[in-house]
Structures are given as C-alpha cells and as structure tokens.
C-alpha cells in the first residue's frame, strides 16, 4: 500500500489538482498563489502551492499539507476516501481488498441500499399519505417549511408493527438479518421481527458524504423514549457523526466557523433561517472523532449550550472529551485563552443560551438575537470561570478554595499576558488577592520558604477585603497538582552584575524555571537585539524546504520556548521595536524594572545565567542553541507519532500517520545536517575558494 501511495503522489500534480477543485492559481516565481478555500480570503491571496515539494501552505489560516491533505480537507473525506479519489484521478489501481474487507464492503453497500430506501419510504409517508397527518401537524407547529423537509428528507414511521420490515423483505427482497443489521428491525425472542421505529417523526442521519447511515425518531404522542436512535451498526457510529454536516460543509468553509448545537430541530431551524454552518452531535458529548471532522472544515468552533446546570455539565463533559485528545495524541488542547489548539489552530468559544431557551426558540423568535449570541461567545477560560463558580457561596473559605482548586490548573495553560488578565479576573470574582493566586500558581514557594514581607500572613489577611469572611485559615490545606519549585538555594552569581541584588530578593518568593538551552537562548536574545532575526532566518531555511512543518512547529523564537514565563518575557521584549531595544546593562536594567514583578525575576534570572559571548560568536551560539531545541522538539514529535502508529488499529489512520512520520523524519534529517558557519558567511570568497 505504501508503494501505491508513493505512486499516486508521484502521478499527481498538486497545482493541476487544486486548480481543478476550484482554486484559481497564478504563478509567482517557483510557486503558485491564490485565494485560500479554507477561510474567508478575498483581498490578498494567502494560499501558496509549492510544485517542488508538492505541498501547499496558507499564510492566513495556516492550513498546509500534500495533495492528500488538500482533498481530505476540501472534500471532507477521510484518508481512504482521498486515496481512492486521487488513485482514480492518477489512473492507479489500488490493491485488491482482502476477503474480509471485500465482505465488509459488500455488506456496507447492502446496508446503504436499505437505509437509503427506508429514508424514501419514511419521507413519502410524511408528505403524501393520510398516515403522516399527525407528523405533518408537528412539522407545521415547529414552523418547518416544505423545502426544509425535503432538504433534510424528514419522514414519518407508521405506527404499525412491521410495515417497513414487510415492505423491505416482501417487495424488495432484503433478508431479515440485513434489515436488523441496518438498525431498522428488532428480533423478538420468538423469532419474529418488528420495526424499530413506529409512530415517530423521522430524522435521517447522513454522513459527511450525504449517505443515509441511520435514523433518529421523535415520539409524537406519549411514547417513550421521547427520542430513539439507530443502534451502533456497521454504518452508524454516533460518536463519529454530526447531524447536518453534509448540508453545512460549504457554509462552514465560507464562514470559517462551525456552530455546534444539541438537537435535530436546532439544526433544522438554523439552516431554514440562513445559518447553515450549524451541526449537532447525536446525543453524545463531543468525541475525538468529532474533533477530527471539525478540524478538517473550520478553524473556529462555537458550542451553543443551555444556560441551565445540566447543559453546563454537558458542555464541560464535551470539553474534557476534547482535552483527552491532547498531548501525546496531538489533536486538541483546550487552553484557558479560549482556544482549542489543534494542529491547525482551531479556536473554541462557548455560546451561552438564555435561561430556558434553546437555539430553535431564539432563532424563530429573533434571528438577529441568535447572531448576537454567536458574536458574544465566550473564550473557554471565561466559561470555566463562570461554570466553576456557579452556585458557590464565595463568601465562604471552603467555596473559595474549591473554585481555586478547579481554576489553577487552567491558569497554568495560559501564556503570561493572559495569565495576568485571568489572575485579576479570579481575584475579582473569587475574592482572593492576586499575590496568593500567584503563590499557588508558582507552586506555593513563598509559603514553603516563609520568605518575603507579609508572605507568612494567613490566607484571611490576604483576601479581597470586600469579601468578609473571618477564617480563611479553615480552607483545606490540600493544593492542586502543581510542579514543585526549582532548587534556588544554590548561589547564582551574575557574570556582569546585572540585577544581581534584585534577583536575590525576588527568587525567594517567585520560583524560577531551571537553567537550560531555552533560558540561555532567551538570555542571548535579551543581550543581543539581532538574535531573534538570526533564529527566524535559521528556522525559515528548513521551513522553506518543508513548508508543512510550519504548522507543527512554528517559525519563531517563541515557538522554541516551552516555559510560559519565558514566552511572556519574550512577548514583552518583542513588542519593543528592535532599534529601541536596550543595548547595554543600564538600559536593560531600566527596561526590566518596569516589568511585572514575576517577569522581572525571570529576566534577571536568564541574564545572570547566560554568559556574554563576544560579538562574533553570539549569533553562532544562538543558532546552535535554537537548532538543538528544534531537533529536540521534532524528535519528541516523532516519538509520539510512532507511538500512535503502534497503538492504532485503524489502517487508514495508520497510513496517514506513516505519511506524516515520513515528512517529519525528512525535516529532522535536514536539521541534523552540518550547516555552514554563519559567523563568516563570506569566508570562502575571502580565501578564494570556488
């Protein structure tokens, strides 16, 4: 199969492919540019195609990849679907499937015939028979138009016990076992079969390609359960499907936004009123498979959730499900700055619904109100702040500590600037002074050492005074799982004396990251304004050759820094124009002094621990350090990819991971190759070497 993939790739011209799929490209030098099909891009072309590497990259939304990636994203296909489409285009015949695969494929085709036919039967019963009168009344009451009924192929299931089953067996020749396997019939212990859906409004459920794979049924009377879905079948995997996605795909791409609601009617109402980028999970929280689907279509995901507590709990469940795909698995990382950091930078926001109203209610009553709710969606951290403090009596110490225990791990995920914003927000909402939140966030170092003026005061004295509570000493002593502070007991003499005394004062109360390549590189950047440009030039050399790696690893100094405090410090320095950056010890000390106290300590820390190389060597040392950090990043990513390949049983996912592993390995090989010495770029000319 790997050889076939290589053959397909070799026979596919990515420029011709992308042009044929609706993107008008024009040649500029050795590359081609056009307007990106994956995000609103109509003014300046941001989408670039590189024929030499057969890859694409968008400088606006950062979408990137190969021909396979483009087809998957543009057509909403999985890897196998893209493989089959490109194979047909390239004239490559895929290896025949095994007997087991052929049997499964034949059964899938047969089940699709059954579900497709059943959807037509249900739709006919709704729109054209007296039996569907009750269902039509419900549809009219919900103000669903005839055009919408047809678009979603809504239907009605007769309340007779086996009408559909009899039709499919006697008139169409399907076997009872096939109808049961499609989820449409139930076998009684007596051996007789009867229809699963009876007397219900039917919602056909289609996959991203528009194939009917299952059904949802709503009771029209007092029948229970109120909603009934197809059970898990070969076709129907509820954790991998989103209702309405087949109709929403184009709108999602055009708007660069997916709105996720909770019910069938919410989706239908939204589409009918022109909000066609709306989908819904099928009675489940968002799953890893949903995250993959969403990632292919849009960088922005909005969750519309009920205002009541149950709805909030469902939301948190969905967010935690997304959290499970983070880290080594490399899909989704919820951060408290309102972003799910998928590899393609998907942003997540929460739409708060009015009390007692769902999207259908709001949209039918006032479509503009719905538009405002979407515009006012909250970042994830703001949502958590409200959800984790709702119902707590924050005048009580136990409640305050409970809120902090929940929120502190989220604060750790923030970058420095956002961290300061939300420390202030938590101080205001929860009623605990910022200094105490910082102490806990930094691992409780001040409490452990007992150093610093006022640091031994009880919690009660450090609370916000307008929250009158007499006994914060009563707060349980347990602390969240935070990393221990580094050992700062050893002396740290500064080589040039910059800020040595100030550092000694602050290190006792603000634990500092350990010294290593990151801190040394940041110290060089603080001392030498040109270092960041040198690092970006170094990284760009590899990214120009392997553009798809930009999305994975980034192209600036900030992408080499894993410590939040280092990232925050670098953001502060980079905000200063390069010609205005401090160039000597006194100017640097003055700049450091105006920083936030925690960043002051970090800045003095990295400067004191980094030596001052001579002017001819600092660039080389910065490049060596940056290359070492990037090699470490890429190597760790390869380890995670290989672990995922070993742990997955999904052949399609395995193929996709193997392709990505190959690309990342090639990039790593480029990084470890010996590089020319940049300190003397013209040495060959000087020596007369040709």
Question: Does a cis peptide bond (omega within 30 degrees of 0) precede residue 225?
Answer: yes
Considering 90, 115, 144, which residue would you say is the last residue of a domain?
90
Output 326 or 36, whichever has higher pLDDT. 36
Q: Is residue 464 included in any domain, yes or no?
A: yes
CATH classification at residue 27: 3.90.580.10
Contacts of 586 (CB under 8 A, 6+ apart): none
Q: Do 528 and 643 share a domain, yes or no?
A: yes
The secondary structure element, H or E, covering residue 339 is strand 339-340
- Mean of all residue pLDDT scores within the chain: 77
Burial 505-536 (b: 16+ CB within 10 A, else e): bbbbbbbbbebeebbbbbbbbbbbbebbebbb
Q: Is residue 687 included in any domain, yes or no?
A: no
**pLDDT-wise least confident of 111-120, 327-336, 639-648:** 327-336
Q: Could you tell me which of 375, 137, 149 has the C-alpha nearest to residue 272? A: 149
Range of 456's domain?
Answer: 391-474
CATH classification at residue 289: 3.40.1360.10
Q: Do 551 and 466 share a domain, yes or no?
A: no
- Tell me what percent of the residues of the chain surpass a pLDDT of 90: 30
The confidence score (pLDDT) of residue 315 equals 56
Considering 211, 236, 261, which residue would you say is the last residue of a domain?
236
Q: Is residue 494 included in any domain, yes or no?
A: no
Q: How far apart are CA 197 and CA 202, in angstroms?
A: 8
DSSP string, 562-617: --HHHHHHHHHHHTS-GGGS--SHHHHHHHHHTS-HHHHHHHHHHHHHS----TTT
Q: Is residue 482 included in any domain, yes or no?
A: no
Determine whether 446 is exposed, middle or buried from the number of CB atoms within 10 Å of its CB (0-12, 13-18, 19+).
Answer: buried
Highest mean predicted confidence (pLDDT) among 346-350, 474-478, 612-616, 680-684 = 346-350
Q: Do 249 and 378 share a domain, yes or no?
A: yes
Q: How many CB atoms lie within 10 A of CB 75?
A: 16
Q: Do 659 and 515 share a domain, yes or no?
A: yes
Q: Is residue 465 included in any domain, yes or no?
A: yes
Q: Is residue 451 included in any domain, yes or no?
A: yes
Q: Do 632 and 604 share a domain, yes or no?
A: yes
Confidence of residue 558 (pLDDT cuts 50, 70, 90): confident
CATH classification at residue 201: 3.90.980.10
Instruction: Give the tens place of pLDDT for each residue, 497-542.
Output: 333 333 333 333 333 444 467 778 888 888 777 777 788 888 887 8
Q: Do 568 and 658 share a domain, yes or no?
A: yes
Q: How many CB atoms lie within 10 A of CB 124?
A: 13
Can you read off the two tokens belonging to residue 506? Answer: 């602050």
Q: Is residue 678 included in any domain, yes or no?
A: no
Pair 262, 280: CB distance under 8 Å: yes
The confidence score (pLDDT) of residue 678 equals 43
Instruction: Give the tens place of pLDDT for each residue, 91-118.
Output: 888 877 677 878 888 999 999 999 999 9
The confidence score (pLDDT) of residue 353 equals 87
The secondary structure element, H or E, covering residue 318 is helix 309-323
Count of domains in the chain?
5
Q: Could you tell me which of 592, 516, 651, 584 has the C-alpha nearest to residue 80? A: 651
Residues in a beta bridge with 242: 281
Instruction: Give the tens place of pLDDT for each residue, 303-321.
Output: 886 555 445 555 555 555 4
Pair 443, 485: CB distance under 8 Å: yes
**pLDDT-wise least confident of 127-131, 333-337, 540-544:** 333-337
The secondary structure element, H or E, covering residue 350 is strand 347-352
Q: How far apart are CA 428 and CA 437, in angstroms?
A: 12
The confidence score (pLDDT) of residue 155 equals 98
Q: Do 552 and 616 share a domain, yes or no?
A: yes
């Amino acid at each position: 199969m790997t050889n076939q993939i290589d053959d397909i790739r070799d026979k596919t011209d990515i420029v011709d492919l992308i042009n044929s799929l609706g993107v008008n490209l024009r040649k500029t030098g050795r590359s081609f540019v056009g307007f990106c099909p994956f995000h609103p891009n109509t003014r300046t072309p941001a989408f670039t195609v590189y024929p030499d590497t057969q890859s694409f990259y968008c400088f606006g939304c950062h979408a990137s990849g190969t021909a396979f990636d483009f087809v998957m994203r543009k057509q909403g296909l999985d890897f196998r679907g893209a493989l089959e489409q490109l194979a047909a285009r390239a004239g490559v015949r895929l290896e025949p499937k095994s007997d087991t695969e052929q049997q499964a494929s034949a059964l899938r085709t047969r089940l699709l015939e059954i579900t497709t036919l059943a959807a037509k039967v249900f739709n006919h019963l709704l729109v054209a028979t007296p039996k569907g009168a009750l269902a039509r009344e419900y549809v009219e009451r919900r103000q669903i138009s005839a055009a919408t009924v047809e678009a979603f192929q809504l239907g009605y299931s007769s309340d007779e016990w086996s009408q559909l089953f009899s039709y499919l067996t006697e008139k169409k020749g399907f076997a009872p076992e096939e109808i049961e396997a499609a989820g449409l019939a139930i076998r009684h212990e007596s051996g007789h079969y009867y229809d699963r859906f009876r007397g219900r409004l039917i919602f056909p459920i289609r996959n991203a390609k528009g194939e009917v794979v299952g059904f949802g049924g709503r009771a029209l009377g007092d029948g229970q359960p109120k909603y009934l879905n197809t059970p898990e079948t070969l076709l129907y995997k509820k954790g991998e499907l989103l209702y309405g996605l087949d109709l929403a795909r184009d709108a999602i791409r055009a708007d660069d936004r997916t709105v996720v609601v909770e019910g069938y009617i919410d989706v239908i109402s939204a589409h009918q009123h022109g909000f066609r980028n709306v989908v819904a999970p099928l009675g489940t929280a968002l799953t890893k498979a949903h995250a993959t689907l969403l990632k292919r279509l849009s960088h922005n995901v909005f969750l519309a959730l009920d205002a009541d507590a149950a709805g909030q709990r469902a939301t948190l469940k969905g967010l935690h499900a997304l959290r499970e795909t983070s880290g080594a698995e490399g899909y989704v990382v919820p951060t408290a700055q309102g972003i799910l950091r998928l590899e393609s930078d998907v942003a997540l926001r929460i739409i708060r619904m009015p009390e007692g109203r769902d999207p259908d209610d709001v949209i039918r009553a006032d479509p503009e109100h719905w538009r405002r709710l979407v515009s006012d969606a909250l970042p994830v951290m703001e949502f958590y702040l409200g959800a984790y403090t709702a119902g707590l009596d924050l005048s009580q110490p136990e409640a305050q500590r409970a809120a902090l225990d929940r929120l502190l791990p989220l604060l750790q995920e923030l970058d420095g600037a956002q961290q300061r914003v939300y420390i202030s927000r938590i101080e205001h909402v929860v009623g605990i002074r910022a200094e105490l939140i910082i102490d806990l966030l930094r691992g409780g170092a001040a409490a452990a050492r007992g150093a610093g003026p006022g640091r031994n005061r009880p919690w009660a004295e450090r609370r916000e005074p307008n929250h009158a509570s007499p006994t914060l000493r009563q707060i349980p002593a347990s602390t969240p799982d935070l990393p221990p502070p580094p050992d700062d007991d050893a002396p740290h003499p500064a080589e040039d004396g910059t800020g040595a005394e100030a550092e000694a004062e602050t290190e006792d109360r603000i634990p500092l990251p350990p010294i290593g390549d990151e801190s040394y590189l940041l110290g060089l950047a603080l001392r030498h304004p040109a270092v960041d440009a040198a690092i970006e030039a170094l990284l760009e050399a590899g990214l120009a050759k392997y553009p798809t790696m930009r999305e994975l690893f980034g192209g600036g100094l900030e992408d080499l820094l894993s410590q939040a405090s280092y990232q925050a410090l670098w953001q502060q320095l980079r905000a200063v124009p390069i010609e205005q950056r401090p160039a000597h010890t006194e100017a640097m000390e003055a700049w450091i002094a105006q920083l936030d106290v925690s960043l002051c300590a970090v800045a003095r820390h990295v400067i004191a621990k980094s030596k001052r190389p001579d002017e001819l060597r600092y660039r080389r040392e910065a490049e060596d350090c940056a290359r070492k950090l990037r090699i470490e990043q890429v190597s760790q990513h390869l380890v995670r990819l290989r672990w995922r390949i070993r742990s997955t049983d999904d052949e399609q996912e395995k193929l996709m991971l193997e392709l990505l592993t190959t690309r990342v390995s090639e990039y790593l090989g480029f990084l470890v190759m010996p590089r020319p010495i940049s300190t003397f770029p013209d040495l060959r000319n000087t020596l007369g070497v040709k």
